[in-house]
Amino acid sequence: MVTVREALDLLVPQFSPLGSERVPLPDAVDRVLAHALTVQTDLPAFDHSAMDGYALARASAVGSKTLPVSAEIKAGDRPQPLAAGTVARIFTGAPLPPGADTVVIQENTTRNGAEVTLHSLPELGENVRARASEFAAGAPLFEAGSLLGPSEIGLLATQGYAEIEVVKKPRVAILATGNELRTLQSPPAPFTIVDSNTYALSAALTRAGCIPVPLGIAGDELSVIQSHLARGLEHDALITVGGVSVGDYDLVGDALRAAAVRVEFHKVAIKPGKPLLFGVHEQGSRHVPVIGLPGNPVSALVVFEIFVRPGLLRMQGARDLFPQAIDVKLANEYRRKPGRTEFVRAQLKYESGEWLAYIHSQQGSGALSSLTAGSALVIAPQQRGKLAAGEMLKAIVPSMPRRSDPAFAD
């Protein structure tokens, strides 16, 4: 049995970054940039006013309070040079006329027909967004591996990038195994359960930037499992779920070995998720990581979060693979035995300046309701026994809980 750290060290590097593809700019959100990009045009591209007001040459305005207004420049206008000793009425986004260097905001002026009286003179360059003040053409814009969010997409648009080369989305096959499983569409039958893991894992894969490819359900029979694996191994990664434990009908390990998957480890000192299997299928230039998840629904999702998601992010060329661990205070005690690193499900509440973790009463690896939105995984270190109320521990929060009121507005 390997530790969580050993398992991560064996697993994550086997997820090699995929090649790239060109996508229209709007589709690049949440994708990873494949190549570094440089600034194409100065940003801003021209000196322009940041405010509604009057543009002037500051040096020529010193001492004179009332000045003639010789021009009006709207956003989008092509400005004429500013006549000496005059000001130009100007609006936000409008280009500064040649000869002007400063804008007086309209709130600090009084307009009288063709003249304006200035109540104060700002510093040189005030209220002007100078050409290239944010970026100059030729400078680096984004490094390869940058994650593209809304502001990156906006900046890429300013630079004329209508299409972007991003790392491909991993296509990840999911094979559910178990005689008791039925599809969501098939009629309920006694002693069967819906293959909910395929849905949960597909959702987790979509959130992790991947394309889930459900292969369906294989019964607990070696030849049946094997017949599905060949198709699964044609994808960028293969996830099997169920059948990796020690029972007589846990046949996934054998089926994978028979399908030329080199098993790197089987069993990790983790709770939930101990039966986890990881292997690699290599054939020619293909290098397919294979993850055998335990079938218990909580185990499957916790193991996905801790091991599989970081690997899949690496496949997408991301630089930062691992979740943040935040400091939380336990609200209630938790009894446990040392030996495995445990990810204890808890609900987080922010109280008096700290995160309190209320440990969920149901810690069974089948109780999916302990892992709904806003849940935290409090980390009980491998060698620790009972955890006391009031203790500070680390926790992973797959999705940060939101709140009912806008506290940021206080």
The CA radius of gyration of the chain, in Å to the nearest whole number, is: 30
Binding segment (CB under 6 A) for ligand AMP, from list 84-92, 122-130, 172-180, 223-231 = 172-180
| Whole-angstrom distance, CA of residue 33 vs CA of residue 158 | 16
Query: Which stretch of DSSP H or E encloses residue 325?
Result: strand 325-330
- Contacts with ligand AMP: how many residues (CB under 6 A)? 17
Pairing between strand 211-218 and 171-177? parallel
Minimal distance in Å, beta carbon 245 to Mg ion?
7
Minimal distance in Å, beta carbon 242 to ligand AMP?
3
Cα torsion at 325, 327, 331, 335 (round to 10°)?
60
Q: Identity (one letter) of the amino acid at 113?
A: G
| Whole-angstrom distance, CA of residue 279 vs CA of residue 265 | 7
The listed partner (ligand AMP, Mg ion, none) that binds 180, CB under 5 to 8 Å by sort, is ligand AMP
Binding mask 221-260 for ligand AMP (x = CB under 6 A): --------------------xxx-x---------------
Binding segment (CB under 6 A) for ligand AMP, from list 56-64, 193-201, 352-360, 396-404 = 193-201
- Tokens representing 47? 């000196």
Q: How many CB atoms lie within 10 A of CB 11?
A: 25
Binding segment (CB under 5 A) for Mg ion, from list 113-121, 210-218, 235-243, 286-294 = 235-243
Query: How many distinct helices (H) and strands (E) make up the chain?
Result: 8, 26
178 or 289: CB nearest Mg ion? 178
Minimal distance in Å, beta carbon 193 to ligand AMP?
6
Q: How many CB atoms lie within 10 A of CB 254?
A: 13
Binding segment (CB under 6 A) for ligand AMP, from list 44-52, 290-298, 340-348, 352-360 = 290-298
Minimal distance in Å, beta carbon 255 to Mg ion?
13
Phi, psi for residue 402 in degrees, rounded to 5: -95, 175
Q: Applying CB under 5 A, which residues contact Mg ion?
A: 178, 242-243
Q: Applying CB under 6 A, which residues contact ligand AMP?
A: 176, 178, 180-181, 193, 195-198, 241-243, 245, 294-297
